[in-house]
Amino acid sequence: MGVLAERAGVRAVAVTHFGGNTPDPAQVTRLTAEIDAQYKGPVTFANDLDRF
């Protein structure tokens, strides 16, 4: 996801679909690190009913 975001030149990434109903902190940490390795902008993990 980080590679795609970087190539597309997006201003921010909102992760809306990830395994399970609610991500556990370890999952968020791991996914954030994976995205941050390729993309330097802000990354947000969406919760139910969030608006962007």
13-45 pLDDT tens trace = 999 887 666 678 898 899 999 999 999 999 999
Please say if the pLDDT value at position 11 is more than 90: yes
Asked if 15 and 49 touch (Cβ cutoff 8 Å), the reply is no
Instruction: Tell me what the mean pLDDT of segment 3-17 comes to.
Output: 94
Give pTM, 2 decimals: 0.79
Contact 8, 46 (CB under 8 A): no
- Mean pLDDT across the stretch 1-17? 94
